[in-house]
Chain A
């Protein structure tokens, strides 16, 4: 009963925080405004690029995750952590890194020119998709990788002793696993790409690549047309919910049953050809994801020396926000780790940060000074935005635990506390570590709602990066961005590692 009450209150808080701000903005505007032809062009482009980006991310993730799951090599754990980095990079840093690699003056074109080949042009829809795959491939890889890790070792052993071929193993183990994980991963990435804005503009090559979020930005900050902003925000939410419902229908529920938690030795894919195949995929993914990252690091190193006390203070605030968001998000996610909870949380990624910020500003203002609430609100909103990711990671594992050990609980008449302590938390440790790391890193890098709540004494690090750029301090900004990257990755690594203590992988 208590668990149910907890789940219901978590769900209510979630609904209030996603729908409340939109409703408040709408009330203030006095109703929806009608949308123009430019807006519908933006909707079409937004859907199209999100569809492409999510498809590529998910399809490419399959061979990469499979290779990572069945190969053992030195530095594998480090590589798995580093491959997650693009997802948590601040947008502007990632875009600059991508341009340094794929841009006109980038590494790829330098190589092509040296070989006498025609150069490539990154700007256009393909550039937008490339950037989104860069951001989201790591997420898809990690989700699949974790699912493969969670398959009990007994299954692979059985498959090996039965002498199952590639196709048979695919039908019995890999296929069902895909059906369980891919629709959810696709949906989350699709919804992330729905709200893309700065990436699409910078790499999209102009107004052809207009997204709904840009139209919201324009309505909100340029024209102060709250009715139009609210209408667009609701449209964005509806698209996300529709995507979520489709995914829910498609995704299968099959689990693999309980195992004895042994390290998973793999007998499949031992031939030369599969080794080469896996090696090529790992190498390609590492190059694609790590080289732009490396350019961001190289660019930032000289700037590290230019960082003043303001930047260091901002880093402190960002750390505080990140840790607060993580604690809140975990406490929020555990009671909601169910199908319904996940669907309910999905709109949280699709809600425009601008509308969310404005709505919260209007809600908070009658009671207290919004400026004093800058950091708590940022923390809260970041927890909210990370919730869908946390649930995507936790939910399949949480359901598996209930399915596999539920009977045990009934047989032993475990108290809720004992269940939590002996089964639930230990079994969820790995996904929780991953989810917490992701939340912390996302909260570090988020710029989100702070525009209306800014306080000069409580700047966060991403905001400081933009401020430095706005004052021509490009080098210092690159240094601050590198600091941000290091802090985000460290937090991610600490939590993720914490979840994998005692595990061989």
Chain B
């Protein structure tokens, strides 16, 4: 019995020593990050080459899981948060300032957040197929006035981040007239799906004419499929800004590694890879360094965005206006 105890203890000890040799950085990431097609494997490869550590992704729900775990969370860093949760995340006190110099950022708007660090962005947009629509609506107003047989699919703002961004987009463009705008849009909306994947699947299957997606979606088709027929309709009223963020946990047991990771996020290595890795625009890379397919994208001149406090104030009523209009 004693020898067994000893063996077990020795086993634990040597496992502990092995751990001490290669420190582990635990990164919580959204689910799609870690598939062979997501950005996770490339991030892991690039970062491990410079840190002499073991980067481990733990995919799944981000904020709900961290809030459940509280200060006992295993995460050192979280990557892939959206602006809809930053307020709640900030108020939890579980995150620490990133300490990264923000001057390299090339976002279309000013970003001064000390906790949440952007790594890529895009905008909400309605994506269409040029072989099916010759002249897409040239503005949001034109979309509202389009004939009712124009078939749109959107995402539900209560279960999807892009759906929520659409509701805020309509709010930003139409203000008090948002509900009336939804009334005009309602007959064209075929359905509101749970998430982006279902919507986009319906679009690629030819079930709808336009899908609520991102300005960056056509880049995937251009680069990966050599297909230039998918385009985002650009509206002069502006498009809602969608950014993905990384943050460091205050209670991390690997503070140096976490800091190193945070500065890696804005490095040229990371930024050069993320465009085709995550099909989004790099947050800190000048346009001439973007992959060619991204340089071909139609991008909006005007970008709309609510700060987290503004969004928190507007959100419930904006979603409710959407629900009322689409329930009629």
Q: Which residues of A contact B (CB under 8 A)?
A: 28, 38, 41, 92, 95-96, 99-100, 103-106, 123, 197-198, 201-208, 210, 214-215, 217-218, 220-222, 224, 308-310, 358, 361-362, 365, 369, 371, 450-456, 463-464, 466-474, 476-477
| Binary contact readout B43-56 vs A (1 if CB under 8 angstroms, 0 otherwise) | 00000000000001
Query: Distance in Å from the Cβ of A118 to the closest Cβ of chain B?
Result: 13
Rounded to whole angstroms, the CA-CA distance of A371 and B205 in the bound complex is 36
Rounded to whole angstroms, the CA-CA distance of A467 and B31 in the bound complex is 7
* Option from B35, B74, B191, B207 in Cβ contact (under 8 Å) with A467: B35
| Chain A residues within 8 Å of B186, by CB | 206
Q: A451-B61, A467-B35 are in contact. Are A201 and B194 (CB under 8 A)?
A: yes
| Chain B residues within 8 Å of A451, by CB | 31, 60-61
Asked if residues A92 and B198 are in contact (CB atoms below 8 Å), the reply is yes
Asked if residues B65 and A471 are in contact (CB atoms below 8 Å), the reply is no
Q: Closest B residue to A366 by CB, please name it.
A: B72
Rounded to whole angstroms, the CA-CA distance of A201 and B57 in the bound complex is 31
Asked if residues B35 and A310 are in contact (CB atoms below 8 Å), the reply is yes
Asked if residues B201 and A96 are in contact (CB atoms below 8 Å), the reply is yes
* Option from A221, A361, A456 in Cβ contact (under 8 Å) with B58: A456
Q: Closest A residue to B225 by CB, please name it.
A: A472
Rounded to whole angstroms, the CA-CA distance of A277 and B36 in the bound complex is 52
B63 contacts A by Cβ under 8 Å: yes
Asked if residues B190 and A214 are in contact (CB atoms below 8 Å), the reply is no
Query: Which among B247-255, B257-265, B319-327 touches the partner chain?
Result: B319-327
B308 contacts A by Cβ under 8 Å: no
Rounded to whole angstroms, the CA-CA distance of A215 and B201 in the bound complex is 24
Asked if residues B196 and A470 are in contact (CB atoms below 8 Å), the reply is yes
* Option from B31, B151, B193, B323 in Cβ contact (under 8 Å) with A201: B193
* Option from A207, A463, A469 in Cβ contact (under 8 Å) with B323: A207
Q: Closest B residue to A473 by CB, please name it.
A: B37
| Chain B residues within 8 Å of A369, by CB | 74
Rounded to whole angstroms, the CA-CA distance of A450 and B38 in the bound complex is 19
Q: Closest B residue to A362 by CB, please name it.
A: B68
Asked if residues B279 and A466 are in contact (CB atoms below 8 Å), the reply is no
Asked if residues B200 and A202 are in contact (CB atoms below 8 Å), the reply is no
Asked if residues A214 and B60 are in contact (CB atoms below 8 Å), the reply is no
Rounded to whole angstroms, the CA-CA distance of A451 and B134 in the bound complex is 41
B303 contacts A by Cβ under 8 Å: no
B69 contacts A by Cβ under 8 Å: yes
Q: A365-B69, A469-B197 are in contact. Are A38 and B32 (CB under 8 A)?
A: no
The number of A-B residue pairs with CB atoms under 8 Å apart is 162
Asked if residues B201 and A469 are in contact (CB atoms below 8 Å), the reply is yes
Q: Which residues of B contact A (CB under 8 A)?
A: 31-32, 34-38, 40, 56-61, 63-65, 67-69, 74, 84, 88, 151, 156, 158-159, 164, 186, 189-194, 196-198, 200-202, 204-208, 217, 220, 224, 279, 320, 322-323, 326-327
Q: A463-B31, A470-B196, A470-B197 are in contact. Are A201 and B58 (CB under 8 A)?
A: no
Asked if residues B204 and A197 are in contact (CB atoms below 8 Å), the reply is no
If A472-B37, A472-B220 are given as contacts, then 17 extra A-B residue pairs at C-beta distance below 8 Å, sorted by A number, are A38-B323, A96-B205, A99-B207, A123-B190, A197-B194, A198-B194, A202-B194, A214-B158, A217-B194, A221-B64, A222-B159, A369-B74, A452-B61, A456-B57, A467-B32, A468-B35, A470-B32
Asked if residues B35 and A206 are in contact (CB atoms below 8 Å), the reply is no
Question: What are 5 A-B contacts with C-beta separation under 8 Å?
Answer: A214-B159, A221-B61, A361-B68, A471-B32, A471-B37
Asked if residues B68 and A104 are in contact (CB atoms below 8 Å), the reply is no
Rounded to whole angstroms, the CA-CA distance of A207 and B159 in the bound complex is 11
Rounded to whole angstroms, the CA-CA distance of A451 and B30 in the bound complex is 10
Asked if residues A474 and B35 are in contact (CB atoms below 8 Å), the reply is no
Query: Distance in Å from the Cβ of B182 to the closest Cβ of chain A?
Result: 10
Q: A103-B207, A224-B64 are in contact. Are A201 and B201 (CB under 8 A)?
A: no
Query: Distance in Å from the Cβ of A310 to the closest Cβ of chain B?
Result: 5
Rounded to whole angstroms, the CA-CA distance of A308 and B35 in the bound complex is 10
Q: Closest A residue to B40 by CB, please name it.
A: A456
* Option from B156, B208, B224 in Cβ contact (under 8 Å) with A214: B156
Query: Distance in Å from the Cβ of B47 to the closest Cβ of chain A?
Result: 15
Asked if residues B327 and A464 are in contact (CB atoms below 8 Å), the reply is no
Q: Closest B residue to A476 by CB, please name it.
A: B37
Query: Distance in Å from the Cβ of A73 to the closest Cβ of chain B?
Result: 35
Asked if residues A453 and B224 are in contact (CB atoms below 8 Å), the reply is no
| Chain B residues within 8 Å of A201, by CB | 156, 159, 191-194
Q: Closest A residue to B164 by CB, please name it.
A: A222
Asked if residues B204 and A456 are in contact (CB atoms below 8 Å), the reply is no
Q: Closest A residue to B197 by CB, please name it.
A: A469
Q: Pick the most buried of B61, B200, B224, B322: most chain A CB atoms within 10 A of its CB.
A: B61
* Option from B65, B208, B220, B322 in Cβ contact (under 8 Å) with A452: B65
Q: Closest A residue to B63 by CB, please name it.
A: A224
* Option from B56, B58, B88, B190 in Cβ contact (under 8 Å) with A205: B190
Rounded to whole angstroms, the CA-CA distance of A293 and B66 in the bound complex is 39
* Option from B64, B74, B202 in Cβ contact (under 8 Å) with A99: B202
Q: Closest A residue to B323 by CB, please name it.
A: A207
Q: Closest A residue to B156 by CB, please name it.
A: A201
Asked if residues A224 and B67 are in contact (CB atoms below 8 Å), the reply is yes
* Option from B59, B164, B190, B326 in Cβ contact (under 8 Å) with A456: B59
| Chain B residues within 8 Å of A476, by CB | 37
Query: Distance in Å from the Cβ of A374 to the closest Cβ of chain B?
Result: 9
Q: Closest B residue to A311 by CB, please name it.
A: B36
Rounded to whole angstroms, the CA-CA distance of A126 and B69 in the bound complex is 42
Asked if residues B200 and A474 are in contact (CB atoms below 8 Å), the reply is yes
Query: Distance in Å from the Cβ of B137 to the closest Cβ of chain A?
Result: 19
Query: Distance in Å from the Cβ of A423 to the closest Cβ of chain B?
Result: 46
Q: Pick the most buried of B32, B56, B196: most chain A CB atoms within 10 A of its CB.
A: B32
Rounded to whole angstroms, the CA-CA distance of A194 and B161 in the bound complex is 25
| Chain B residues within 8 Å of A41, by CB | 327
Rounded to whole angstroms, the CA-CA distance of A222 and B69 in the bound complex is 17
| Chain A residues within 8 Å of B202, by CB | 96, 99, 103, 202
| Chain B residues within 8 Å of A218, by CB | 158-159
Q: Closest A residue to B34 by CB, please name it.
A: A456
Q: Closest A residue to B189 by CB, please name it.
A: A206
Asked if residues B68 and A358 are in contact (CB atoms below 8 Å), the reply is yes
Q: A214-B156, A453-B60 are in contact. Are A206 and B200 (CB under 8 A)?
A: no
* Option from B38, B63, B327 in Cβ contact (under 8 Å) with A206: B327
Asked if residues A104 and B220 are in contact (CB atoms below 8 Å), the reply is no
